[in-house]
Every structure is written in structure tokens, then in C-alpha cells.
Amino acid sequence: MKLMHYIVSVLMTGSVALQASCLDLVRAYPDSLKSCSGNTLIWRDGTKMRYDDGKRNKSFDELLNRPDLEDMFHYRYPKGAAGYGKAPRKNFDPGRIRYEPFFRKMYGDSAGKVKRHLTTIPWIPRSTGGKYRIRVTRVNGVDRQLRKVSQDLDKLLQKHPGYRKYLVPVGGTFKWRTIAGTHRLSVHSFGAALDINVKHSAYWRWNKGPYRYRNEIPLPIVKIFEKHGFIWGGKWYHYDTMHFEYRPELLGTGATPKGLQAPKKSGAVNGGNLF
């Protein structure tokens, strides 16, 4: 019956890929999202958001500035060694396409509202004597996931103490601000992003002269963040190698769900049905 519901739903919306990506969202953020039905993403509080605006062939500028939820999956994020160590193709920015109302609703739509969800956690305390602490959101268990990142990095640093310089001092976490040169809010505004040491990082806007991709951050560091749901800005054409942000929908990972609701007997497709 579940499969039948899925097939009916897919026939009604006309796209398997559309439904599958919508479900990637539900699976990635189970605390906030409930299901996908037709072209609608349904939140646990009953809020409905249109998934696909139906516009095709958007320019890169339109993808950045007027995206819908579906556009967030326009570029597939390459995990692990894939996409590491070479310049991404022109404008290949998986994760930079963000439907802002989605993140505002999830984490808070003002600095004050975001701050209510923030907590402070230690950052690689075993390697630094507990010197560094970071402020991050508790929404979606981002704080728990970053604790896991921190623990795994502490272990990595036992083997590779030289990597410490990439991770501390921390560049920053929470700050309600727009992305430089744009009107779009940074994910730092939501307490769901972390910049590691700025000194060993590269950012495309700092590049003088013709485009050139640069990176110093070792792959094992990137892999640990990805394992726990954070994408890396070093895999973007518009690179930002200090930057990690919580985007489990692009990685097929996420915090341990507090419990997906049992599938209902309706045409709606629930994330728990398929994954």
C-alpha cells in the first residue's frame, strides 16, 4: 500500500526526482518537517510550502536570488574525495542555493529569535585544553552534531597534530548578517554554520586577478564534517574553504530523528516510507 501511495503521488506530480528531493528534506530535518504531498512540503506545525515554482532554466543569478525549495538540489553536492582537490566547474555551488523562508522558519527569522535557540559547546577541547567554545543552534540537533564533529576532530588531531592550525582559532559561528556583496542572509545568521581558522582559508572574493581555485584544508577534516551533516564551502566554484554549514539534505545524513511519525493512510508520502 505504501508503494501504491507513492506511485499515485508521483503520477499526480509528474516527477519522481521532485518527490525524492522533497523527501530528502523531510528525512534530513525530521524534527521540523512531516511529509511531502504533491508539490507541497508539510511542516510538523501544519505550515505548507510550495516545493517547485514551476520555473525552468533559471539563470545562475536567478537560482541564487529567486530560488524555490527544489532549486536547493540544483547542484548535487559531491561527498568525500569527490569534488576535492580540483577547481569546481563554473558556478558549481552545491549548497549556496538556499530558499531563505525555509531557513528563517526553521531557525528563527530575526537575530533575537535565533538567539533563543543558541547554546555554547566546547570546540576540540582535548587538543586545546578547553580554550575554545562556540555558539550554535540547538534546532535540528546542530549542537549535538557539532559535538560529534569536535570529538572526531580531537581523535584526528592525535594522529595529525599539524592539522590543529586549520581548526583554531575559530573564525566564527553565529552572526546575523548578509553574505558579503549580497542581500541574502548567511547561514551564520541561524547559528548553523562554522568558519574554521581564517588564516589558512581561501575565499573567492579575496582572489585578486583572474579566477583561481585555492585550498589548504586537508580532506580528512572535510570528511568528518560531512559525516555529521555539514557541507564544505571548499567544494564550491565560489569557494569559501573556512566555511561549513549544516545541510544534511545534501548529504543523506542528519541528526538522529526524535521519531518520524507513522505513515498516514492518505496520498501523502512520508519520509519514513521510503528511507
The residues of the shown chain that bind Zn ion, judged by CB under 5 A, are 195, 243
Q: Taking CB positions, which residue lies at the least distance from Zn ion?
A: 243
Q: Considering the complex, what minimum distance in angstroms separates the CB of residue 184 from Zn ion?
A: 13
Of 235 and 243, nearer to Zn ion (C-beta) is 243
Nearer to Zn ion, 180 or 262 (CB): 180
CB of 187 to Zn ion, least distance (A): 7
Nearest to Zn ion of 35, 173 (CB atom): 173
Q: Is the dihedral of CA 87, 91, 94, 96 positive or negative?
A: positive
Cβ nearer to Zn ion, comparing 233 with 271: 233
Q: Which of 225, 31, 48 is nearest to 139 (CA)?
A: 31
Dist CA 170 CA 185 (whole Å): 21
Please name which of 171, 30, 34, 193 lies closest in space to residue 98, comparing C-alpha atoms: 193
3 state DSSP class of 154? helix
Closest CB 243 distance from Zn ion, rounded Å: 3
Residue 101: CB partners within 8 Å, gap ≥ 6? 49
| Minimum CB distance to Zn ion, residue 251 (Å) | 17
